[in-house]
Chains A and B, each alone.
Chain A
């Protein structure tokens, strides 16, 4: 057993639902106890879909346990086919149904449903949501895709977008436009928007664009083997990655690379003098492997940030993220333990977090600005407006999103210069965010508390800071530390402490603080 307060991913059958709900003409019969229909509202509420997910649940109860849960499944599958007349069905079990071993696949096969029925084996006690999506789409592809003649004009499939995917909707639009500019057509986009009949036509494309490795890689590998289609390895998030992607695809298709950069604004925005203060801002990056890798490159090479740490929660991407971390000279955090992520952020004390919904709340608690770059996300990150992450417009969106949480340049200067202002002070937060002005607290160092946290929520770790059991901050030094603006204070504290530790000091004085500042100056 493992105690968890927060899971970054749902169980694998939620991944299967994301595939089924992204597609049309496909129905999912899920053997599951009463109550597992909660998953519907991920789609109807968070993604705000205007239809029910194409999922029939058996919703068995305790009184059904015993011989007749299998009958219940058969009846549900029959009724689902009769009512929805899908082109194909997928059948599987949730974690509880996995324990009672009714074998949905076998039962469905014996029912002579006149359309393909694809059984799913999703080990709920070992794997998670992304695996569920990847495996489901792979099984659907394997069951339905067949070799066929390539289209006359160059074309590709877009592989990987699903329901409940972070910005998948707009990434598809952005990439479709980008490909069109190159003279490349989209043959099929799948799972999102595709029906089973479309899956049978996958083989007509000249190559596959693997948009999201987490949810499309297994299918791409299979198509490479069985249908002879190469697939792209670069995910076009960020300016450099988009350029590389275009070059890679052009190579695969044997045609000239062409990228229309007339609407690309990130490079100029980032070079303009107003962005100078972004230089060296220390960021911690966490999320799914794909988005983290993309964000790290943008952060360092396109925004001029300093990457203080990277990590991902999906262990399927552990290897690439470890390699990336090495390249950036930081330690990778591969963990799906929310508390561990929180701990790492606390110890690194970055000036900004690029993460998921959860890191947003860690940031709120620690008073660190945060921008969301990856699922899991809540309803705000399924916006009405056009907001891709990929391609040209994606880069523009990213620039705005990442800069927004930070205190703006002039305000930052003023905070450095005048520490005693009653409304314009540390704890008030960035003034363009429009929260209610908080009066400066008497000690001058208002707990930069996130707001929503009731006092009892203060974590145990909030007591003495790491290191203070061996190192003592003299009162004078502590006061001097508080004169440093909040967004860099954590870093100053950390640097001073490690400097003192290096020197074998047990006490930190004002001098130590400035010695450390000089030591780390750049």
Chain B
């Protein structure tokens, strides 16, 4: 039953030493997770307890969404809250009561910790418990930290999902839980593939609505669709659930490897697995081949951002013929990444954490064909003549599973195609025109 799993690279990256750096980190804090979580969880509200900076970050990151009566907001700490003039717990109660009276559609409320709330040691867990008691059963109140001091970008989702795990009920049922917030269309595709193999029932964390929540227990198995879910992984294991280790479902190979691990767990026979996956695998390969054409033989450098860097580098190296030079990641979870490290061909530098100035020096030294980096660095690097792919898009675009494999390759190819398409530097008439003038 191992025949349908991807074959590891001859010499993987499992033993590659990791460069650990400390210095300026040019990354988002975990609050940004709210931007996609609030769309996914239809009856949840995210109340950040923080400062004007936190509110400003959310609106800068949320762009236009904020105008659609968003399901998030910031309780901005004021002078009085700090000076101890106001009892912060009372203040939270008041703000929450006001909010819930205005928004009866809210069934789950997350109190989200920020750097300021953590530094002043505001106990949001206690507040959540108290408020849960007060507003049960209509509203469930939970808390987690999305602060920059604790979390980096996608880790906000991890912290949120991990907070939900302890309150899920007990069950003895043998069920599969698919963990990670995916775009709806992608989630449906995944459920379709699993269903076609006879695997079920399948639960998803997070569910779109509080009413859809399910139980956990010793017979629960779970698979992660996102690499940044270390704390959620640990919380699920604490509840007795068992993890199915697998590469992440990015690209044809990653998706096949991920499905194969689950198929193996549920004793799906190879013929059925092939029957279900053959056509989409073929489709994915063809789509990638077409979209990845400009990528072949090109080098790529990943700045740390989301923890998606390793699986993406694996996809680019193995399916798009790119050469990763450096793969930076904000956090390297050895256990979860083991299947990825095995698949990744030896060669690239692995870096955890960041000293942005030093890392930029390495980028300039290496002059990669493509640099994957955040929006704070992308335009400055472009103006130095480097081609960039801004990393946030990889979190805001459907990229998982077979049907998106071609789009995923296309995301990386587009900046290279654009660079080739633009003729801005010198006055170059189009070839045909020049010909005609002759």
Interfacial chain B residues near A457, Cβ < 8 Å: 68-69
How close is B208's CB to chain A, nearest CB, in angstroms? Answer: 13
Interface range for A? 35 or more
Contact A125 B149 (CB under 8 A): no
Interfacial chain A residues near B99, Cβ < 8 Å: 3
Interfacial chain B residues near A50, Cβ < 8 Å: 379-380, 382-383
Contact A5 B115 (CB under 8 A): no
- For residue B219, CB closer than 8 A to chain A, the reply is no
Contact with B along A447-466 (1 / 0, CB 8 A): 00000111011111000000
Contact B149 A1 (CB under 8 A): no
- For residue A212, CB closer than 8 A to chain B, the reply is no
Contact B73 A51 (CB under 8 A): no
Contact B119 A3 (CB under 8 A): no
Contact B64 A361 (CB under 8 A): yes
Among the stretches A36-44, A468-476, A505-513, the one at the interface with B is A36-44
CA distance A45 to B60 in the complex (A): 11
Contact A11 B53 (CB under 8 A): yes
Contact with B along A32-68 (1 / 0, CB 8 A): 0111111111101100111110001111111011000
Contact B53 A95 (CB under 8 A): yes
Contact A459 B375 (CB under 8 A): no
Among the stretches B75-83, B185-193, B398-406, B419-427, the one at the interface with A is B75-83
Interfacial chain B residues near A458, Cβ < 8 Å: 69
Contact with B along A69-80 (1 / 0, CB 8 A): 000000010010
- For residue B91, CB closer than 8 A to chain A, the reply is yes
Contact B379 A99 (CB under 8 A): no
Knowing A60-B149, A99-B120, say if A51 contacts B57 (CB, 8 Å). Answer: no
* 8 Å CB contact of B374 from A11, A41, A76: A41
CA distance A161 to B150 in the complex (A): 37
Contact A4 B55 (CB under 8 A): yes
- For residue B376, CB closer than 8 A to chain A, the reply is yes
Contact with A along B97-140 (1 / 0, CB 8 A): 01100110100000000011011100000000000000000000
How close is A151's CB to chain B, nearest CB, in angstroms? Answer: 35
- For residue A234, CB closer than 8 A to chain B, the reply is no
- For residue A94, CB closer than 8 A to chain B, the reply is yes
Q: Considering only CB atoms, which chain B residue lies closest to A12 in the complex?
A: B52
Contact B380 A1 (CB under 8 A): no
Knowing A50-B382, A83-B357, say if A1 contacts B25 (CB, 8 Å). Answer: no
Among the stretches B26-34, B165-173, B284-292, the one at the interface with A is B26-34
How close is B270's CB to chain A, nearest CB, in angstroms? Answer: 44
Interfacial chain A residues near B359, Cβ < 8 Å: none
How close is A253's CB to chain B, nearest CB, in angstroms? Answer: 40
CA distance A124 to B54 in the complex (A): 12
CA distance A361 to B152 in the complex (A): 30
CA distance A480 to B322 in the complex (A): 67
Knowing A1-B88, A44-B377, A83-B357, say if A35 contacts B119 (CB, 8 Å). Answer: no
- For residue A173, CB closer than 8 A to chain B, the reply is no
* 8 Å CB contact of B67 from A13, A99, A365: A365
* 8 Å CB contact of A96 from B78, B91, B119: B119
Knowing A99-B120, A361-B64, say if A36 contacts B148 (CB, 8 Å). Answer: yes
Contact with A along B34-52 (1 / 0, CB 8 A): 0000000010000101011
Interfacial chain B residues near A83, Cβ < 8 Å: 357
- For residue A493, CB closer than 8 A to chain B, the reply is no
Interfacial chain A residues near B56, Cβ < 8 Å: 7, 10-11, 14, 39
- For residue A414, CB closer than 8 A to chain B, the reply is no
Contact B26 A40 (CB under 8 A): yes
CA distance A212 to B431 in the complex (A): 50
Q: Considering only CB atoms, which chain A residue lies closest to B118 in the complex?
A: A62
- For residue A323, CB closer than 8 A to chain B, the reply is no
Interface size of B by CB at 8 A reads 70
- For residue B16, CB closer than 8 A to chain A, the reply is no
Contact A34 B148 (CB under 8 A): yes
Contact B380 A35 (CB under 8 A): no
Interfacial chain B residues near A459, Cβ < 8 Å: 69
* 8 Å CB contact of B52 from A7, A39, A42, A378: A7
How close is A55's CB to chain B, nearest CB, in angstroms? Answer: 9
How close is A3's CB to chain B, nearest CB, in angstroms? Answer: 5
- For residue A268, CB closer than 8 A to chain B, the reply is no
Knowing A35-B147, A41-B375, say if A124 contacts B380 (CB, 8 Å). Answer: no
How close is B347's CB to chain A, nearest CB, in angstroms? Answer: 29
Contact B382 A124 (CB under 8 A): no
* 8 Å CB contact of A378 from B25, B29, B32, B63: B63
Interfacial chain B residues near A4, Cβ < 8 Å: 52, 55, 73-76
How close is B78's CB to chain A, nearest CB, in angstroms? Answer: 6
Interfacial chain B residues near A36, Cβ < 8 Å: 29, 53, 57, 148
- For residue B66, CB closer than 8 A to chain A, the reply is yes
CA distance A52 to B303 in the complex (A): 15
Contact with A along B251-264 (1 / 0, CB 8 A): 00000000000000
Contact B379 A95 (CB under 8 A): no
- For residue B198, CB closer than 8 A to chain A, the reply is no
- For residue B95, CB closer than 8 A to chain A, the reply is yes
Contact A452 B64 (CB under 8 A): yes
How close is B331's CB to chain A, nearest CB, in angstroms? Answer: 11
- For residue A358, CB closer than 8 A to chain B, the reply is yes
- Beyond the given pairs A3-B99, A6-B55, A49-B379, 18 more chain A to chain B contacts, judged by CB atoms under 8 angstroms and listed by A's residue number, are A3-B76, A7-B55, A10-B53, A11-B53, A34-B25, A35-B57, A36-B29, A40-B376, A41-B60, A42-B60, A61-B149, A62-B118, A65-B119, A96-B115, A96-B119, A99-B119, A362-B67, A365-B67
A–B complex contacts, Cβ < 8 Å, 16 sampled: A1-B86, A2-B76, A4-B76, A7-B52, A7-B76, A33-B115, A33-B149, A36-B53, A37-B24, A44-B375, A44-B379, A50-B380, A59-B23, A96-B116, A125-B77, A126-B78
The interface of chain B, by Cβ under 8 A from chain A, is 23-32, 42, 47, 49, 51-53, 55-57, 59-61, 63-64, 66-70, 72-79, 81-82, 86, 88, 91-92, 94-95, 98-99, 102-103, 105, 115-116, 118-120, 147-150, 152, 357, 374-380, 382-383
